[in-house]
Amino acid sequence: MTKTGDVDEDKRATLRRFAALGAASPFVRFTDDGSDSDAPDAIAGYVSAHPGTHFSKLRDDLQLGTGEAQHHLHRLENDGVVASRKDGDYRRYFPAGQFSEFEQVTLGYLRRETPRGMLVTLLRDPTVTASELATTLGVSRPTISNYAGDLESADLLSRDDGYAVTEPETVLTLLIRYADSFGDEAAELANEASSLFRYDP
């Protein structure tokens, strides 16, 4: 059984780790609320390292209470440190002024396991079919079809002739830049990046 003191120390260590990232942010001056809490800088650092994260993920990873996380996020958003956008049932957070609307939408989908898997697989092999995607990702064909429709509506995917990522360089750049926050498949893709970029002079 974990002792309360151990939990508190683990939370403090987590907050300090992400606060170091937040402190390196050009917006750090806005996070000083007059308290000695690491939470505001930790949230800023976490959002910087995990752009497109949603509220529950941020709260749980930083081991914050719901009210505490809401309070600091509200303040940070008002102070222009973070920005947010609604994404279905989620509210996603980004460093303010850093991403275009298309990049924000892309990051939102990259934070979802199946759409991310679809995009990663298509970047590796643009000729892959819907059935092959379903087999590779271990999901049903209707699931692939539903997400493909969502990705097409978001201008991330074309279904004119099979499936094609519409802005492959943008998607790949975001995957590489934040690979550590997306999981193993993104990290593996980052290692293959040089072979995936195509240049036609």
Instruction: Return the domain boundaries, the chain.
Output: 4-98, 103-196
At 87-139, the pLDDT tens digits run 988 999 999 999 999 999 999 999 999 999 999 999 999 999 999 999 999 99
Per CATH, 4-98 and 103-196 having the same topology is answered yes
Question: CATH number for the 4-98 domain, one of 3.65.10.10, 3.40.50.2300, 3.40.50.360, 1.10.10.10?
Answer: 1.10.10.10
Q: Does domain 103-196 have CATH number 1.10.10.10?
A: yes
Among 17, 66, 15, 69, CA closest to 38: 15
Contact in structure between 128 and 122 (CB atoms under 8 Å): yes
79-94 residue pLDDT tens: 999 999 999 889 999 9
Tokens of 41: 């800088």
Phi, psi of 150 (to 5 degrees): -65, -45
Q: Is the pTM of this model over 0.75?
A: yes
In 125-167, where does DSSP find H-type helix? Answer: 130-137, 141-153
